[in-house]
Structure 1
Amino acid sequence: GVDSNQNYLHPGTMLPSMLKRVDVAAYNVFKSAQNGTFKPGINVLGLDIDPAKPKRLLAGESYLTTAPATAVQAANASGCFDASTDMARANEADAVLIAVPTPLAAGRQPDMCFVERTVESLARHLAPGALLSLESTVYPGATRECVLPILEAAGLIPGQDILVAYAPEREDPGNANFGISDIPKVLAGLDDASLKAAEAVYGLVSPKLTPVSSLEAAEATKITENVFRAVNIALVNELKGVYAAMGVDVFEVVDAAATKPFGYMPFYPGPGLGGHCIPIDPFYLAWRAEALGLPTRFVELAGEINAAQPAGVITALAEALSQKSRLALNGARVLVLGVAYKKNVNDIRESPGLEILDLLQARGAEAAYHDPFVPEIGKTRRHPNLAGMRSTSLDDLSQFDAALVIADHTDVDYRRIAETIPVVVDSRGIYRQWPDLLPKITRA
C-alpha cells in the first residue's frame, strides 16, 4: 500500500519524461539551467524509443525550437539530466510522466496505441509506489479504460502498488510569453494519494496547480480547451468566405472586434488546422459522445470546416493562375511558403502545408517548399510521399509561377516574393502590412 502522508519527492528523485516532446520536468531543467535558477536535487531522465533523440540531447543538441541548445547544454552540465532508450531505467523513478502522440485512426477514431504501448513497456519496470502520470490528450475516460487495465495485467494494483494521475500538457509552441513554467497545471489523481503525489511533482515547475475531482474531469478540461479553439477557428474560416463575397476583409473585422474589452477574443482564419491537438481533439470528443449515443453536431461541423480549408487554398490558387497568368494548375511551378503548422516552429504534425503539397502534386503542379525551420520533411503517417523533400532556396524566385503563404514565419522576405512571383496566394493575411501590394495578392 501507499501512505497518503508520504513525502513523494526527495533529493535524487528521478522524473522521466517521454522525449517525443520534452516534457514538463525535462523542460524545467532546460529552462532553469539556462536562466541560472536551477536547483540541484531533482534528477530528470528522458526516455524515447527513437535513439536519435537521447543521443542528440546528450551531445548538447536540441531538435525542438522550444528548447534551445544552450538550455540543453546547461542541463547536461548540471549533472541532473540524462536520456536513454532503456525503458528498464523507469525503475529508478519516483514519478514517470508520459507525453506521447494520440492520433486519429481510420474513420476518425482515437488511436491510443502509443499510450498503450508505452504503458506496457514501462509497467513491468515501475518501482513500487511510483507515480505514473499521463499527459497526452485523450477522451474522457481513457486513462481509466486504457491505462489501468494494462497496469493490472502487469500484476499492479492502481492506487496501491502504483499511483496514477492525469495532468494534460498545456503549451503554445513559439509563444515567448507563456512557457511551460508559466502556465497553471490542471491535474487529477486516481485517489487522494495519487493526487498528492502529482501535486508534489508538478508543484516543482508550475506556478499554480488546479486539481479537479476526477481523471475524467481533467481529461475533459484539455478536450474543452482545444475544442473551444477549433470551433472558433472554424467560425472565422467560414466568415472568411462570406465576408470576401461582400468585399470585406475578415482580418480587419477581427482586429476591430478585438478592441471590445469584454465578451470577445480574436481568432484568425488560415489554411487549415495543424499541430497535434487542435485538428484531432474534436473528433476524440465526438467519438466518445457517439459511443454514449449523444450527438455533437456543432463540434463535428467545426472539424469538417477546418479540414476543408487546404482544398479551398488550392481552389483559390487555380483560379488566380487562370485569371492572372492564363495558366492551368497542372504543370504550374508553385512555391509553398511554410510547411510547419504555425509560424516560427519546426513542428509539422497535422500541418496543412503537407496536405497542400499533396494536393498540388495530385493536381499535376510542380511543387516546392521553403521553410527555414523545416530543412527536410521527415516520415509522416499521412504523407509518406513527401518524406525526404527538402526546403528550397529563395535565391531564384523567377522560376516559380505562383507562391502560397501557409506558415507566416518571421524571417522571410515576403515583399520580394510578391514583387517577383506573378501569383501570390496569402492564407495568413501577411500582406496587409503592404497596402501597395494588395491589388496583386489573392486571399485564401
Structure 2
Amino acid sequence: MASSTIFDALLNKIETRTARAGIIGLGYVGLPLAIAIARSGFAVTGFDIDPKKIVSLEASRSYIDAVTGRDLSIEIEAGRFSATTEFAALSACDVIVICVPTPLTKHRDPDLSFVEATSHSIAKHLRTGQLVVLESTTYPGTTDDIVKVILEKTGLVSGVDFFVGFSPEREDPGNQHYHTATIPKVVAGDGVDALELMKCFYGAAVKTVVPVSSNATAEAVKLTENIFRSVNIALVNELKTVYAAMGIDVWEVIDAAKTKPFGYMPFYPGPGLGGHCIPIDPFYLTWKSREYELPTRFIELAGEINSAMPRYVVGKLAEALDIRAGKALSRSRVLVIGLAYKKNVADIRESPSLRLIEIIEERGGKADYHDPHVAEIPSTREYQALKGRRSIALTAEQLAGYDVVLIATDHDQIDYALLAKSALLIVDTRNVFARLNLAADHILKA
C-alpha cells in the first residue's frame, strides 16, 4: 500500500485542481486531451519532440481539427496550457499522461519504441507523489510489464511512491457528436489507490468514467473495440466482392438489412482500412496471443481481407477502363478523390488512398489526387515516393484530362454534381453518388 501521506496529498491536489498535468505527445489524442483537462481547471504542460508543433501551439495555431485556435488561446491566456520540448519540466507535473504512437513493424509486430523511450524520459524525472498514465493503444500487459518496470528501475515503487494507470484513448477524428469530454473513459490502475486517483483525475475532465479491474483489462477493452470493427468491416468487404460477382449491390442489401430493429448492426465496405487504430490494433493481440500458443484466426483473416481491398479496387478500376473506355490502366490518368482515411478530416494515417495511388502507378497508370483537407502529401513511413504531391483543383477543365475518377474518401466538401457531369468515368467505392441520387451509367461501384 502507498504511504497514506503520498496518496492523500496527490488525491487532494487532483480534487482541488491544484495538480499540474503533463501530456506527452501532442497529436490527435494528446492535444484534445490536454485542452479538455485544462478546460476542467488543471494547469497543463504539453510535451512533444517536434519543435514545429510547439511554435504553432504557442501562437494558438492548431494543426488538429478537434482543437481550434480559439480553444488554444483561451487556455493559454488563462495560464492553464503551455507546451515545450523540454522534458525536464516533467518533474513539476503531478499527473503524467503518455499519448505517443504505437505502430507496427514491417513484420506486423508491435513497435513500442515510442512508449519505451517516453517511459525512460519520465524515469529521469520521476519523483514521489506522481501518477503516470499510458493512453497509447497496446497489448494487455504493456503498462505493468514495460512502463511500470522501467519506472521502478529508479528505485521508487509503484503503489507506494508513485502510481501507474491505463486509460485507452477513444478519439474519433471528425465526429461531430462526441468529443474528448463526452466520450465515456475507461480507467484502470495498478492497485486500489492508483484506480482511485485515475477515477478522480479523469472524472474531473470527462463526463463518464468507467473503472475496470486491472490495467490489462483496460488494454483489452480498446483492442476489443477495434477488433470488433475490423472483423465486421472485413465481413462486408468480403460480401461486397461475392455479391458483386452475383450482380447484387451490397449497399442496397445493407440498407434493407438495417431496417431490422434488432440483431443487426450496419457496417459499410470501402477501399481498405485507415486511421491509427483499426488497421493496427488487432495485430497487437495477434502478436501477444502467440505467447499463449493460441491462434487468432478471425483477426488475421479480417486483416488479410481488409488489406486486400486496395488491390481489389484497382482491379475493378482497370476492368472499368477496359470495358467502358477501351483503354488499359497502364495508359490512363486517374484522379483519386480523397486522400484522408475517412471523410471530413485531414488525417492520412494508414490511409488506403496512399496504397491505391501506389498500386495504380505500379501498374503503369498515372495518379493524382484531390482532397480539400489535405493540400500536400507529407512525409510518411511507407510512402516516401509520394511526399510533396499536391492536391489538384477540381474543375471541369481538369476533369477532362482524366480517364477515370476514383472515389476513395467521400468528403462532404466535394462537388459531386460537378464530378457526375464532367468526369468521363467514375468508380465509386463509397456509394456516394447513389446516396446523393446522382447515379448514372458512367458511374460504377467497386
Relative to the length of structure 2, the TM-score reads 0.94
Contact 1:13/1:94 (<8 A) preserved:
yes
Q: How does 1:71-82 map to 2 (within 5 A)?
A: 71-82=71-82
- Distance in 2 (alpha carbons) for counterparts of 1:119 and 1:174: 30
Paired residue for 2:179?
Answer: 179
Q: CA 1:181 to 1:421, structure 2 compared with 1: closer, same or farther past 3 Å?
A: same
Paired residue for 1:376?
Answer: 376
Paired residue for 1:7?
Answer: 12
- Distance in 2 (alpha carbons) for counterparts of 1:408 and 1:120: 42
Q: How does 1:289-308 map to 2 (within 5 A)?
A: 289-308=289-308
Q: CA 1:360 to 1:102, structure 2 compared with 1: closer, same or farther past 3 Å?
A: same
Paired residue for 1:412?
Answer: 414
Paired residue for 1:166?
Answer: 166
Paired residue for 1:66?
Answer: 66
Residue aligned with 2:334, SS: strand
Q: How does 1:158-307 map to 2 (within 5 A)?
A: 158-307=158-307
Deviation by residue 1:222-255 (Cα, 9 ceiling, x = unmatched)? 0000000000000100111112222222112212
Deviation by residue 1:39-82 (Cα, 9 ceiling, x = unmatched)? 5x411111100111111111011101111222222222222110
> Which has the larger displacement, 149-158 or 228-237?
149-158
Residue aligned with 1:336, SS: strand
- Distance in 1 (alpha carbons) for counterparts of 2:385 and 2:305: 25
Paired residue for 1:397?
Answer: 399
Corresponding residue to 1:28 among 1, 23, 36: 36
Letter in 2 for 1:117: A
Contact 1:133/1:165 (<8 A) preserved:
yes
Contact 1:273/1:350 (<8 A) preserved:
yes
| TM-align CA RMSD | 1.6
Paired residue for 1:106?
Answer: 106
> Which has the larger displacement, 70-79 or 323-332?
70-79
Residue aligned with 1:27, SS: helix
Deviation by residue 1:332-386 (Cα, 9 ceiling, x = unmatched)? 1111111110001111111101111111221121111111111111111111111
Corresponding residue to 2:22 among 16, 20, 27: 16
Contact 1:337/1:407 (<8 A) preserved:
yes
Contact 1:92/1:127 (<8 A) preserved:
no
TM-superposed CA distance for 1:151, in Å, is 0.9
Letter in 2 for 1:261: P
Letter in 2 for 1:130: Q
Q: Does 1:425 align with 2:423?
A: no
- Distance in 2 (alpha carbons) for counterparts of 1:84 and 1:7: 27
Letter in 2 for 1:118: T
TM-superposed CA distance for 1:195, in Å, is 0.9
Percent of aligned pairs sharing the same letter: 48
Q: How does 1:305-316 map to 2 (within 5 A)?
A: 305-316=305-316
TM-superposed CA distance for 1:164, in Å, is 0.3
Contact 1:339/1:348 (<8 A) preserved:
yes
> Which has the larger displacement, 11-20 or 342-351?
11-20
Contact 1:16/1:90 (<8 A) preserved:
yes
Paired residue for 1:35?
Answer: none
* Structure 1 stretches lacking a partner, 5+ long: 31-37
Paired residue for 1:143?
Answer: 143
Contact 2:28/2:171 (<8 A) preserved:
no
- Distance in 1 (alpha carbons) for counterparts of 2:154 and 2:383: 36
Q: CA 1:328 to 1:154, structure 2 compared with 1: closer, same or farther past 3 Å?
A: farther
- Distance in 1 (alpha carbons) for counterparts of 2:160 and 2:195: 13
Contact 1:90/1:127 (<8 A) preserved:
no
Deviation by residue 1:272-309 (Cα, 9 ceiling, x = unmatched)? 11001100111111111122100111111011100100
TM-superposed CA distance for 1:16, in Å, is 1.6
Letter in 1 for 2:192: D
> Which has the larger displacement, 76-85 or 310-319?
76-85
After the TM superposition, which parts of structure 1 deviate over 6 Å for at least 4 consecutive aligned residues? Answer: none
